[in-house]
Amino acid sequence: MKLVQTLVVRDEVDIVDAQIAYHLNAGVDFVIASDHESVDGTTEILESYARAGHLLRIPVAGPVREGDWRTHMARLAATEHGADWVINTDADEFWVSRSGTLKDTVTAVPRSVGIVWALSRHFVPRPGEGFFADRMTARVSASAPINDPTSPYRPHAKAAHRADPRIRIGFGSHMVFSDRLAPVTGWHPAEVFHFPFRTLEQYERKSVRRVHGDKPLGQYVRANQARAAGRIGERFRSLVVDDATLARGEAAGSLVVDTRLRNALRELRDGQADGRRVTRSYDLEVALASEGAILQDADLVRVLRAVDGLRARVDAVERRGWGHRGGRRE
């Protein structure tokens, strides 16, 4: 069984080394990385893994074409690298299996199932400048979906799939499209720890880049607007969770302290990791089931918003005269 990880990265030097080392120790056999014009030292880190035979670096340039790049890498995993399963990641995401290694997890997926989703867990920025995983040990655990299109904490999931030379990967790897792989939803065999904003400098750089990308999400539009008004620092500080806010969030149940990644990375640094971290516990299983249900609610909202878009298009067709006579429906 071979597990291949794909990665799209640009200027993520503060996190990318930990991300790749973590996944190689968590059951990933090989990494394919699209390096989008990195200039901050990310390229050198990728090259060091490539020299060790763990990674293929694909330089990409020009406007962001995330879906195309991910699709190319996922297909390459199937055709050139003998992958059985593929996980599609960003540099700020860490896949954590519910028990055993990631390879154990995907190996246990029934043969009839070809696509599964890992539940994203959003970690909030915390004060300070040190290594992100040492600082960022609090994550969002809302009891209802935050459906704000400008929030970085909207519930979502990331797809893992069996190797398929014709697979197509959607934006953000939230959706994948295959004519031969059967998906299973509502069951999340892994979690994705997500660290979207870590420092002011990284927040500003990422927001500027993404607002000009192929899908300028509301959170980046807002950050860019704050930057234009000279208030980017203020905006970032409003996202940072200080100790008082953390205590308030813990009391309300909307923030929880989760040190699993911090501990795993510390063990890696100390040379103690065996990749078989057991994360399963009754509390975690209950929380995962609950947040899985919240994700379903959020997906329902996404579907209704899409239906609203279709309805507006039908309105437009009707107004052109196809559905009305003399301005009134027949």
Q: Are 158 and 116 spatial neighbours (Cβ–Cβ below 8 Å)?
A: no
- DSSP annotation of 293 reads H
Tell me which stretch binds another protein (CB under 8 A): 32-40, 79-87, 92-100, 300-308. 300-308
> Which position among 37, 44, 129, 148 is part of the footprint of another protein (CB under 8 A)?
148
Q: Shortest Cβ distance from residue 164 to another protein (Å)?
A: 30
Distance between CA 8 and CA 12 in Å, rounded? 10
Give dist(CA 137, CA 133) in Å, integer. 7
Judged by CB under 8 A, does residue 259 bind another protein? no
Q: How far is the CB of 137 from another protein (least distance, A)?
A: 15
- At 303, give phi and psi (nearest 5°): -65, -45
At 230, is the secondary structure helix, strand, or coil?
Answer: coil
Task: Rule CB under 8 A: choose which of 4, 9, 124, 160 binds another protein.
Answer: 124
Q: Considering only 9-17, 142-150, 168-176, 256-264, which stretch makes contact with another protein by CB under 8 A? A: 142-150
Size of the site for another protein (CB under 8 A): 54
Among 88, 249, 264, 277, binds another protein (CB under 8 A): 249
Q: What 3-state DSSP class applies to 142?
A: coil
At 138, is the secondary structure helix, strand, or coil? strand
Stretch that binds another protein, among 22-30, 145-153, 160-168, 270-278 (CB under 8 A): 145-153
**CA distances to 7, 83, 201, 269 from 30, in Å:** 11, 9, 30, 20
> Which residue's CB is nearer to another protein, number 179 or number 308?
308
Nearer CB in complex with another protein: 4/255: 255
259: left (phi over 0), alpha (psi -120 to 50) or beta: alpha
- In this structure, the number of other CB atoms found within 10 A of the CB of residue 87 comes to 28
Neighbours of 290 (CB within 10 A): 13
Residue (133 or 298) nearer to another protein, CB: 298
Nearer to another protein, 182 or 307 (CB): 307
Task: Indicate the angle between helix axes 16-25 and 42-51, nearest 10 degrees.
Answer: 30
Q: Which is nearer to another protein, 286 or 317 (CB)?
A: 317
Q: For residue 293, state whether it binds another protein (rule: CB under 8 A).
A: no
Does residue number 80 form part of the binding site for another protein (CB under 8 A)?
no
Number of residues in the chain: 330
* Integer Cα distance of 287 and 289 in angstroms: 5
| Binding residue (CB under 8 A) for another protein from 199, 225, 263, 279 | 225
Least distance to another protein from the beta carbon of 224, Å?
9
Interface contacts to another protein, rule CB under 8 A: 124, 140, 142-151, 153, 217-219, 221-222, 225-226, 231, 235, 238-239, 241, 245, 248-249, 252, 254-255, 297, 300-301, 303-305, 307-319, 322-323, 329-330
